[in-house]
Structure 1
Amino acid sequence: MVADAPLRLSDTNACVDAVIERVGKNITLGLPLGLGKPVRFVNALYQRAKDDPSINLHIVTALSLLAPRGSSSLEKRFMGPFAERLYGRIPELAYARDVSANRLPDNVKVSEFFFKAGSFLNNVDQQRNYVCTNYTHAVRDLMALGVNVIGQMIAPGDGSGQVSLSSNPDLSLDLLPLMREREAEGTPVAVIGELNENLPFMGQHAAIAETSFDVLLEHQPSDYPLFSAPQMAVSPADHLIGFYASTLLRDGGTLQVGIGSLGAALVHSTIMRHKQNDDWNAVFDRLRVADRFPVATEDGGTEPFREGLYGCSEMMVDGFYYLLDAGVLTRVVYDHAGLQTLINQGDISQQVSLDTLDVLRREKLIDSPMRARDVRWLTRFGIFRDTVEFKGGRLRVGEQSLDADLDNADSREAIRTLALGDRLTGGVVMHGGFYVGPESFYQALRDLSDEDRQRICMTSVNYINHLYDHAFGTQRLKAAQRVHSRFINSAMMYTLSGAAVSDGLDDGRVVSGVGGQYNFVAMAHELPDARSILTLRSTRQSGGEAVSNIVFSYGHCTIPRHLRDIVVTEYGIADLRGQPDEQVYLRLIRIADSRFQQDLLKQAQKAGKVAPDFTLPADWCNNTPDAVRQAVTRTGDEELFPAFPFGRDFTDEELTLGKALQTLKAATSTRRGKLVTLWQALREKDEDGRYAALLQRMGLENPRGLKARLDRRLVIHGLRKLDTPSDTGSKET
């Protein structure tokens, strides 16, 4: 069983020794998703397994983060300095790099239930070892795989005996008790916490006792910065998707959103709606959203967020901090279903008064005369001041003794003046399961005031992703908190019948993972007034050609068609819930790229899903990239939809080079394109030194060797294409 105090060690090898002493050499190591991996401990354990073939190590986790390196020589030249700047002081996950390079030793296996999108499409071992599971079932499946060691990076406390799971209480809060049950049944286990001063201390559910751990690894001089996810550019198409999604948000509602540029675009437009409402409404009117997509006015809104939003998202993306800072994330929820229901109904407000007590009594949440349990409950939510006690059947406030009878006029006045608080307390505006983001986001979390920190509750993913959860609450509580929920997630493709493709390909290869998407989509159909919103770009580039992401059919799906709801592309909103198949097909064709609409219609008509005499209305047929660019630039303010709405990690030079490399990549996506590009590049020179600084950034100012000289000419060619009006006019930034 766990000791009264954890073993405190400063040496990673001693920590590995302690683990082997406890559980032996057959180790199944469970690690948190994303940020919370204890890199020093994991690297030491992995190195020990590499050195000792008698150790059998199975690592079970998700989203093992690595600094980008690039594949081609040009990408490596571009990414090298950038990665050094962002990640140079962060120790690399050694097993993850070896997984990427296909060089794991025979006695080590790595299984993940969520990949960084597209990272292992061609990695046979990882495709074979992938564990397909809903996020809410991950703890169950970890236990089924025989996990006997848990390792996690944690934030140190203030000496009070608590530490914080901070970035990753998502699975750990549910996993740790099960590990102790396994231990009580006779299976040795080890729970390792690696302290890191750079990890923000998050309270609420994330704060747990040090004694939850068997070993604490603590060596402050080797504490490393947190792995950051750099801010990515938001394209015009992304911005329009985010804008359309922001029209579907209901003031006083609930928001879940995922990572990436589509999430950033949504957050940006949501803040614009709140703080620049006239500008936002001008775009709303120009796009004719109300006329073309009535669901926006039926289920969404156009006004600023006076009641505010409440965040409930498995991933607390940095966007939630921006919403908090902008005054949007302000709707407070409480962990009592009865109290929350009364707030929702408007029967009580945040302001405390004697009426508050009368309503609570009417609803039988308290008694009169009040008892000790009533006083504790009222104090917990700030209805009574924390100086109020219950002794001898009376209320005690300092030296004052008050009658606890709410029917007594004198008692009521005394309670009003001496016992009542000012406002409800103890509520939160955000429930999150894990977080990953840019360094500026981590610093913002470290700098939070105590009050704002307490309004964020990092907690179990089962609380967030699932309505039925015995550990933290009931369906009634969650339903009361999650009014007007908007669960916004992204998809790769969408079929005309209403199925979403988000995690894999039809040849069986896994792109990323199901994660929590299925849970949120299903929850949207179970909660009153909730909507599932799946966002996707209407097209992608494949082999140098544009390909539609809205397809007639596909041989794999993540979300089945019977859970179809709302779909958003840069061309608008398709409200599919409760619609017959013909309307579903047509509404999706309406928001497809016009280059593919006619073919999609023909396939639908051939299948008998759309009437054979239907023709595309004229106002459906302007779904083009040029129309998207015009929509975000005809605003009267060029910065209304900026490429980097929340800052950026790339320098100006890197942005220019990145665009040039993207241009080259697109131009060389076919065999013919490669030959043409190479032939053109061979004639390129920078005789006037126009690109000298950019070439120096790529380490190509004085190239040596044939390959380096060719790389220099390719970069010049890519930069020159950016400067050519006919090219720049055809590209999205």
Structure 2
Amino acid sequence: MSESSKRLQDVDACVDEVIRRVGKQITLGLPLGLGKPVRFVNAVYERAKQDPEIRLYIVTALSLLAPKGSSSLEKRFMGPFADRLYGQIPELAYARDVTRNRLPDNVTVSEFFFKAGSFLNNRSQQRHYVCSNYTHAVRDLMGQGVNVVAQMVSPGDNVDVPGKVSLSCNPDLTLDLIPRLRELEAGGTPVALVAELNTNLPFMGHHAEIEESRFDLVLDQPSTDYPLFSAPQMAISPEDHLIGFYASCLLKDGGTLQVGIGSLGAALVHSTIIRHQHNQAWRAVFDHLRVSDEFPVVQEIGGYGRFDEGLYGCSEMMVDGFLYLMEAGILSRAVYHHAGLQELINRGEINTTPSLAMLDTLREAGLIDSPLRARDVNWLVSWGIFSARVEFKGGRLTVSEQSVDGDLDNPETRQAIETVMLGEHLKGGITMHGGFYVGPENFYQSLREMPKAQRERICMTSVNFINQLYDHPFGDQKLKVAQRSHGRFINSAMMYTLNGAAVSDGLDDGRVVSGVGGQYNFVAMAHELPGARSILTMRATRNSKGKTLSNIVFNYAHCTIPRHLRDIVVTEYGIADLRGQSDEQVYLRLIRIADSRFQPELLKQAQKAGKVDPSFRLPASWCNNTPQAVRSALAAAGDGDRFPPFPFGRDFTDEELALGKALKGLKAATATRRGKLSTLWQAVRASDEEGRYQHLLERMGLQNPRGLREKLDQRLVIHGLQQLETPPDTGNSET
């Protein structure tokens, strides 16, 4: 560490030192999601609560909290589950107070990305939200006056790299923030960079591995290391599965993949694995849906075979699905940090096995000279083309006792190179570039236990390297273009307007649901990068206050992605290829993949606006976009459940799954005043005389209810469970 660095074992002493360095006006920048140093943040927040002279401004994104539930039934359901998953993890005190609107007057919290829907009704957070593209976050953090940055890091001592730590889950912004803060410091502004060590955090190398001395303070308190916050696996509905299936049709072997978190991303990963490992079953669904005929864009840019060349992952978020793709042998296309080398690989002029032919090609491309010079030999050794035993001495190539000149036209030299000097394979290949990660506990465990050689194929890095093509210290535009061949950037949207605008982060009344994040960056990059496509996935319908509504709408008073960046949209009813199309075709292609209950009205609106020929009529082949058709399509895969609700495991017990479905049904049934009265009337008459639901009532703590509230809750649970056995056919059920 540098002379100014300090390693402290007491969190309060760490806070004292920060205040000594920067004073009591603290603008604290924290990583998005998992990388928040909970012990230090809680101590700073507590100090601010105790000392009103401190002005604490926290700038961050995605503050993670264990779910609590709102109604009495939800709290009973979530309590044991949250204790099981999060009971040993200290809670972010400021984040909980934000949800309760209990921040003290001297503390402000601004986020540029919310957990979806978490702050829709929180006026303070809506007011303090900062709208920023992910790639502009560092600029905007500096604009907010950040003078303290704190992050949880993985200690290097566990992997024999003394003096190093790993930014692990969050190099995304920190790699670019550190030099900016040091520039600020050099100009006379006091700053403090704080690292909180946690041995549970997987150690990731490459760009994420930095000198410990780049931090001013290092909190080393191993006795209080806590487990990592996990994001449970979400159930994948049949509709989600079919969206994922259609998206998997658009992936090209040898291409590049970006995908986000959630059930739609998990569904894509699952269908991609089925396409690779169980291609016959996958093709049965493909043929049943007549994908080639109905959506010819698949023939143009996608595929339906195995991934023999493999995919390369380049995603701001490394979701756990990328590890499943790696295990399945799909995430296997390695890219190299040299544009010229990568371009030769892309064109098939060289492969990853060193040979004399490779040397000749490298020479023709101007990457090496003949006779070979010292810099050529060092370069060839660094990429594994030459064995590490090869040296350049006295103008000659030497291995042990053998020595030849560097003339690649000399038969003796060629013989010696082929016999004893070539390496086994290219080195330095990366199959996954990620900016941050968060996921279930088994994801973290897999990263911790992953063999070093496999983990070295993952490079956690700056989000500005990943999310845009502009030059960056970690790679210029030429390199990025070479690596990201056949890019498929897959993100989700909430709604889509018929004129081609995506609604992904907010509502028409101005409230923010989540944030832009990196979605705009990837959509824009897809239009700039040769051969790339932006794919927005979206459920065709949603339920609101007891009604089914279309997510494809005529217009909407908010958009995240403007209409001039329209590209590909996927619902459970198909694929709309919008790039370069006339407005009439855009309107019709979106109506084609809308739920059939809403197609006539959408067409009527489009025709009234003069966007579609008045004589156009809906073709019969478009009019089977129903939930029943979704299930029929998935069933075409044959025997066995190829599309289960939890293909990658689950955190909920069997009892919790049953109770969760019952509570979900109750919530839907009571969305309206009439539905609430009807449900209560039916619930008070419900009973469990045979004791069929006793074990489930015990899980809810309602086996022996006391008082009117608990008795009513018990009856509601019984009624909800009974409804599961004979669910009404609403045409819009979910798993």
Q: Residue 78 and residue 728 in structure 1: after superposition, are their counterparts in 2 closer, same or farther (change >3 A)? A: farther
**Correspondence 1:86-125 to 2 at 5 A:** 86-125=85-124
Distance in 2 between residues matched to 1:124 and 1:711, nearest whole Å: 31
Distance in 2 between residues matched to 1:24 and 1:389, nearest whole Å: 55
Task: Give the structure 1 partner of residue 132 of structure 2.
Answer: 133
Q: Does 1:19 align with 2:18?
A: yes
Deviation at residue 414 of structure 1 after TM alignment: 1.1
Partner SS for 2:201? coil
Deviation at residue 247 of structure 1 after TM alignment: 0.2
Distance in 2 between residues matched to 1:246 and 1:167, nearest whole Å: 27
Distance in 2 between residues matched to 1:507 and 1:364, nearest whole Å: 58
Farther-moved stretch of structure 1 (629-638 vs 215-224): 629-638
Partner SS for 2:602? helix
From 387, 393, 396, the equivalent of 1:394 is 396
Distance in 1 between residues matched to 2:8 and 2:29, nearest whole Å: 20
Q: Tell me, yes or no, if the aligned pair for 1:95 and 1:104 is still in contact at 8 Å.
A: yes
Q: Deviations over 1:628-678 (max 9, x none)?
A: 122223432231000001000000000000000010000000000001111
Distance in 2 between residues matched to 1:334 and 1:5, nearest whole Å: 37
Q: Tell me, yes or no, if the aligned pair for 2:628 and 2:731 is still in contact at 8 Å.
A: no
Q: Tell me, yes or no, if the aligned pair for 2:246 and 2:570 is still in contact at 8 Å.
A: yes
Partner SS for 2:195? strand
Residue segments in structure 2 that go unaligned for 5+ positions in a row: none
Deviation at residue 727 of structure 1 after TM alignment: 5.3
Deviation at residue 401 of structure 1 after TM alignment: 2.6
Q: Tell me, yes or no, if the aligned pair for 1:78 and 1:698 is still in contact at 8 Å.
A: yes
Deviation at residue 422 of structure 1 after TM alignment: 1.6
Residue segments in structure 1 that go unaligned for 5+ positions in a row: none
Q: Tell me, yes or no, if the aligned pair for 2:571 and 2:594 is still in contact at 8 Å.
A: yes
Partner SS for 1:568? strand
Distance in 2 between residues matched to 1:143 and 1:466, nearest whole Å: 20
Deviation at residue 398 of structure 1 after TM alignment: 2.8
Q: Percent identity?
A: 74
Distance in 1 between residues matched to 2:398 and 2:182, nearest whole Å: 42
Deviation at residue 400 of structure 1 after TM alignment: 3.0
Distance in 1 between residues matched to 2:727 and 2:191, nearest whole Å: 64
Task: Give the structure 1 partner of residue 63 of structure 2.
Answer: 64
Q: Deviations over 1:589-611 (max 9, x none)?
A: 00000110000000000000000
Task: Give the structure 1 partner of residue 470 of structure 2.
Answer: 468
Task: Give the structure 2 partner of residue 3 of structure 1.
Answer: 2
Q: Tell me, yes or no, if the aligned pair for 2:232 and 2:439 is still in contact at 8 Å.
A: yes
Distance in 2 between residues matched to 1:86 and 1:388, nearest whole Å: 52
Deviation at residue 371 of structure 1 after TM alignment: 1.5
Deviation at residue 391 of structure 1 after TM alignment: 2.4
Deviation at residue 397 of structure 1 after TM alignment: 2.1
Distance in 1 between residues matched to 2:291 and 2:418, nearest whole Å: 50
Distance in 2 between residues matched to 1:659 and 1:692, nearest whole Å: 17
From 295, 306, 320, the equivalent of 1:318 is 320
Q: How many residues align?
A: 732
**Correspondence 1:22-61 to 2 at 5 A:** 22-61=21-60
Deviation at residue 728 of structure 1 after TM alignment: 8.9
Distance in 1 between residues matched to 2:729 and 2:370, nearest whole Å: 77
**What is the CA RMSD across the aligned residues, in angstroms?**
1.1
Distance in 1 between residues matched to 2:197 and 2:707, nearest whole Å: 47
Report the AA paired with residue 710 of structure 2. Answer: A
Distance in 2 between residues matched to 1:516 and 1:668, nearest whole Å: 36
Partner SS for 1:638? coil
Q: Tell me, yes or no, if the aligned pair for 2:232 and 2:650 is still in contact at 8 Å.
A: yes
Partner SS for 1:27? strand
Farther-moved stretch of structure 1 (513-522 vs 718-727): 718-727
Task: Give the structure 1 partner of residue 248 of structure 2.
Answer: 246
Partner SS for 2:485? coil
Deviation at residue 376 of structure 1 after TM alignment: 1.6
Task: Give the structure 1 partner of residue 703 of structure 2.
Answer: 701
From 265, 269, 273, the equivalent of 2:275 is 273
Distance in 2 between residues matched to 1:121 and 1:725, nearest whole Å: 31
**Correspondence 1:199-210 to 2 at 5 A:** 199-210=201-212
Deviation at residue 405 of structure 1 after TM alignment: 1.4
Partner SS for 2:350? coil
Deviation at residue 730 of structure 1 after TM alignment: 6.1
Distance in 1 between residues matched to 2:151 and 2:546, nearest whole Å: 43
Farther-moved stretch of structure 1 (578-587 vs 375-384): 375-384
Report the AA paired with residue 539 of structure 2. Answer: R
Task: Give the structure 2 partner of residue 84 of structure 1.
Answer: 83
Distance in 2 between residues matched to 1:336 and 1:575, nearest whole Å: 34
Distance in 2 between residues matched to 1:460 and 1:260, nearest whole Å: 22
Deviation at residue 412 of structure 1 after TM alignment: 1.4
Distance in 1 between residues matched to 2:730 and 2:81, nearest whole Å: 25
Farther-moved stretch of structure 1 (720-729 vs 433-442): 720-729
Q: Tell me, yes or no, if the aligned pair for 2:52 and 2:106 is still in contact at 8 Å.
A: yes
Q: Residue 642 and residue 549 in structure 1: after superposition, are their counterparts in 2 closer, same or farther (change >3 A)? A: same
Distance in 2 between residues matched to 1:642 and 1:343, nearest whole Å: 38
Deviation at residue 681 of structure 1 after TM alignment: 0.5
Task: Give the structure 1 partner of residue 149 of structure 2.
Answer: 150
Partner SS for 2:242? helix
Q: Does 1:542 align with 2:544?
A: yes
Task: Give the structure 1 partner of residue 595 of structure 2.
Answer: 593
Farther-moved stretch of structure 1 (550-559 vs 366-375): 366-375
Distance in 2 between residues matched to 1:439 and 1:558, nearest whole Å: 32
Distance in 2 between residues matched to 1:402 and 1:647, nearest whole Å: 58
Q: Tell me, yes or no, if the aligned pair for 2:626 and 2:731 is still in contact at 8 Å.
A: no
TM value normalised by structure 1: 0.99
Q: Residue 730 and residue 571 in structure 1: after superposition, are their counterparts in 2 closer, same or farther (change >3 A)? A: closer
Partner SS for 2:156? coil
**Correspondence 1:655-674 to 2 at 5 A:** 655-674=657-676
Task: Give the structure 2 partner of residue 681 of structure 1.
Answer: 683
Q: Tell me, yes or no, if the aligned pair for 2:281 and 2:638 is still in contact at 8 Å.
A: no
Report the AA paired with residue 575 of structure 2. Answer: I
From 177, 181, 186, the equivalent of 2:179 is 177
**Correspondence 1:432-471 to 2 at 5 A:** 432-471=434-473
Deviation at residue 372 of structure 1 after TM alignment: 1.6
Deviation at residue 379 of structure 1 after TM alignment: 1.1
Distance in 2 between residues matched to 1:690 and 1:187, nearest whole Å: 68
Report the AA paired with residue 221 of structure 1. Answer: S
Q: Does 1:489 align with 2:491?
A: yes
Q: Tell me, yes or no, if the aligned pair for 2:469 and 2:525 is still in contact at 8 Å.
A: yes
Task: Give the structure 1 partner of residue 649 of structure 2.
Answer: 647
Distance in 2 between residues matched to 1:389 and 1:558, nearest whole Å: 56
Report the AA paired with residue 691 of structure 1. Answer: Y
Q: Tell me, yes or no, if the aligned pair for 1:310 and 1:329 is still in contact at 8 Å.
A: yes
Report the AA paired with residue 37 of structure 1. Answer: K
Report the AA paired with residue 494 of structure 1. Answer: Y
Farther-moved stretch of structure 1 (150-159 vs 482-491): 150-159
Distance in 1 between residues matched to 2:472 and 2:718, nearest whole Å: 61
Q: Tell me, yes or no, if the aligned pair for 1:62 and 1:112 is still in contact at 8 Å.
A: yes
Q: Deviations over 1:444-496 (max 9, x none)?
A: 00111111111000000000001002321111100000000000000000000
**Correspondence 1:625-636 to 2 at 5 A:** 625-636=627-638
Q: Tell me, yes or no, if the aligned pair for 2:342 and 2:483 is still in contact at 8 Å.
A: yes
Farther-moved stretch of structure 1 (363-372 vs 275-284): 363-372
Deviation at residue 409 of structure 1 after TM alignment: 1.1
Task: Give the structure 1 partner of residue 524 of structure 2.
Answer: 522
Partner SS for 1:689? coil
Task: Give the structure 2 partner of residue 611 of structure 1.
Answer: 613
Deviation at residue 98 of structure 1 after TM alignment: 0.4
Q: Does 1:720 align with 2:719?
A: no
**Correspondence 1:553-568 to 2 at 5 A:** 553-568=555-570
Deviation at residue 386 of structure 1 after TM alignment: 1.4
Task: Give the structure 1 partner of residue 367 of structure 2.
Answer: 365
Distance in 2 between residues matched to 1:473 and 1:352, nearest whole Å: 24
Task: Give the structure 1 partner of residue 346 of structure 2.
Answer: 344
From 195, 210, 213, the equivalent of 1:211 is 213
Q: Deviations over 1:253-273 (max 9, x none)?
A: 000000000000000000000
Q: Residue 24 and residue 725 in structure 1: after superposition, are their counterparts in 2 closer, same or farther (change >3 A)? A: closer
Deviation at residue 297 of structure 1 after TM alignment: 1.4
Distance in 1 between residues matched to 2:124 and 2:400, nearest whole Å: 68
Deviation at residue 5 of structure 1 after TM alignment: 6.5
Report the AA paired with residue 468 of structure 1. Answer: Y
Distance in 2 between residues matched to 1:250 and 1:730, nearest whole Å: 32
